[in-house]
Structure 1
């Protein structure tokens, strides 16, 4: 591991090259990741802090990206949701390593409204909808058989032709960025970094040293 080296031989990135709007720049890079066939290019590592100030991180899937922020969905009783309720800020990283790129985001976090959560929940496969009712997320469980029993119990609650409603304990969060950083790998570890910061309602771009 210590001696493993990958040489980055990709095109550069400069302040003049990026879109003035970081969301549009993210969309451009996300499209590149999709076109390259990367698996789950909408996956980001989401970092929060627990009540003792200890960082916590996990991978979540972004289901919406617009001027309002980056939206993901989860169980509101999960550890990450409890942490976000107590301290509604987060950082996230997209790692598109095959393209020698990463994007870092920091900002505040808010719950999305019920109507938006309902609309997304309706698009989920039925098995995933039932799973949202069945799983006591982040709590200890005896084994897979116990989880299967919970799923069977919840499956029996709903007729096959009956829509599965969204559980009240499940819904969306939106990361509202005040800072973005776009990183492009370059030769000799002299990488290109462009940071956006939101100041007085406008995005300001700065090049950072690698």
Structure 2
């Protein structure tokens, strides 16, 4: 794998057959990347805030914390832990779902068991910062299953992608065939993760 990283870092575009001619790529291990490039145009920041519809009390906070720990806990068990009856417990959970505090339930899978052993973060710079270019990039990325997260950011690049694939060979294919050739992508820089120290989707619950 070290040889693959070195090849990509030295060869740049030539290491990725089929890559777009106006696109440039560089790679590094996390913490060893180059300095950010200056922006040629304006910057856009996407807001993800949501207004609260209701006020959370301590029981609501405990419900949210517990369901983040185990989304399959029964309402009867949850009610016992909260020292309330089942009916108001169910009503509280439904209210939290209705007002958008709980947006879904899911199973957390093991990437290692599924052979998805390579994790990378990719900085993407676009050639123009216009609504049309942003919309085109978002539309293209949303349907890519190997992209676990995509964020518009402020700074020296436009988007940060979290990509998980099997190995370096698959990553090279993903980058050249799916990311680099999105119209408007000017440059990418890849950080390969050496060790996942902490990975969590839990949101800190506190009084508002």
Q: TM-score, normalised by structure 1?
A: 0.22
State which structure, 1 or 2, has the greater radius of gyration over its C-alpha atoms. 2
| Greater relative contact order structure (CA < 8 Å, 6+ sep) | 2
Give TM-score, length-normalised by structure 2: 0.22
